[in-house]
């Protein structure tokens, strides 16, 4: 079951849910990002790269943003350091875009765009950094490679992807946590499946090779992978 990525579709990728269920699933995802290390893992790599860039103003794109909790956390980090982090946050789901606008009303640095991640409406090099958190695992290998290729095209410095490491302990742990920690139907179904759709280093090596990007992969507790990429010198522009 863990040797290969699952191809079963998650409920959240369909349309058989209510607004209340979807918004509730976003709230649960914010808790996951906060308590299970998603924000911390991303920041451990992104923040030093922002500082190393030596700019007072950086532009970032967050793809598949959900309710934009991670961009908000990055903006708050930048404010504390006298920097300006300007975000475009993108999601195709109209419920997600609406919730992101509502929750980032106090963040003028964040602009919400509803668009298809597979057809990013931005010119090459429009952003310093492109981010994606718990998003890439929703796509099969060829689409995931195309996404990484488009991230590399849009980013002047690097893209940083935060996603799940496929592992039996992660799978059974999240099944237990969601059984007792939430009543949300979408989360109860999708959380463990997301782990089965997650990645190993071998998966990422293959996806990166197909995309034509160099990937540096880092493990973070508990069962998170951060992968950072740039274009190959011979890659397409």
Q: What is the pLDDT of residue 122?
A: 98
Q: Domain residues for 144?
A: 11-231
Q: What is the pLDDT of residue 85?
A: 98
Asked whether residue 193 is assigned to any structural domain, the reply reads yes
Asked whether residue 84 is assigned to any structural domain, the reply reads yes
Asked whether residue 46 is assigned to any structural domain, the reply reads yes
- What is the number of structural domains in the chain? 1
Asked whether residue 236 is assigned to any structural domain, the reply reads no
Q: Is 227 left (phi over 0), alpha (psi -120 to 50) or beta?
A: beta
Q: What is the DSSP letter of 8?
A: P
Query: Long-range contacts of range 177-185, CB-CB < 8 Å, 24 or more positions apart?
Result: 182/28, 184/21, 184/24, 184/25, 184/28, 185/11, 185/17, 185/21
Run means of pLDDT, 10 residues per run, the chain, 237 residues: 94 96 96 90 97 96 98 98 98 97 98 97 97 98 97 97 97 95 96 98 96 95 94 44
Residues 87-137 pLDDT 10s:
999 999 999 999 999 999 999 999 999 999 999 999 999 999 999 999 999
Q: Specify the 3-state DSSP secondary structure of 225.
A: strand
Asked whether residue 5 is assigned to any structural domain, the reply reads no
Rounded CA-CA distance 118/148 in Å is 10
CB contact set of 106 (below 8 Å; sequence gap of 6+): none
What is the domain-level CATH number for residue 52? 3.40.50.150
What would the two tokens of residue 122 be? 């931005």
Phi, psi of 68 (to 5 degrees): 65, 30
Q: Is 37 left (phi over 0), alpha (psi -120 to 50) or beta?
A: left
Are 62 and 88 contacting, i.e. CB atoms less than 8 angstroms apart? yes
Asked whether residue 86 is assigned to any structural domain, the reply reads yes
Cα angle: 219, vertex 221, 222; to 5 degrees: 115
Q: What is the pLDDT of residue 24?
A: 97
Asked whether residue 1 is assigned to any structural domain, the reply reads no
Q: What is the pLDDT of residue 231?
A: 59
Asked whether residue 2 is assigned to any structural domain, the reply reads no
Residue 212's Cβ-count burial label (10 Å; 0-12, 13-18, 19+) is middle
Q: Is 104 left (phi over 0), alpha (psi -120 to 50) or beta?
A: alpha
Q: What is the pLDDT of residue 234?
A: 35
């Amino acid at each position: 079951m863990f040797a290969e990525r699952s191809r079963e579709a998650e409920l959240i990728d369909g349309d058989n849910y209510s607004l209340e269920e979807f918004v509730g699933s976003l709230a649960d995802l914010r808790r996951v990002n906060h308590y299970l290390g998603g924000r911390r893992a991303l920041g451990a790599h992104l923040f030093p790269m922002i500082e190393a860039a030596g700019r007072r103003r950086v532009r970032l794109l967050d793809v598949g943003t959900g309710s934009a909790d991670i961009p908000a956390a990055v903006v708050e980090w930048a404010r504390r350091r006298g920097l300006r982090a300007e975000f475009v946050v993108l999601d195709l789901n109209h419920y997600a875009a609406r919730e992101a606008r509502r929750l980032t009303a106090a963040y003028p640095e964040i602009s919400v765009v509803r668009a298809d991640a597979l057809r990013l409406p931005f010119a090459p090099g429009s952003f310093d950094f492109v981010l994606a958190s718990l998003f890439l695992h929703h796509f099969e290998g060829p689409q995931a490679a195309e996404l990484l290729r488009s991230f590399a095209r849009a980013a002047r410095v690097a893209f940083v992807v935060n996603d799940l490491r496929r592992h039996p302990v992660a799978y059974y742990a999240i099944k237990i946590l969601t059984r007792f920690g939430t009543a949300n139907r979408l989360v109860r179904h999708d959380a463990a499946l997301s782990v089965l759709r997650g990645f190993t280093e071998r998966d990422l090596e293959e996806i990166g090779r197909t995309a034509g990007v160099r990937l540096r992969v880092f493990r973070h507790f508990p069962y998170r992978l951060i992968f950072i990429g740039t274009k190959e010198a011979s890659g397409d522009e």
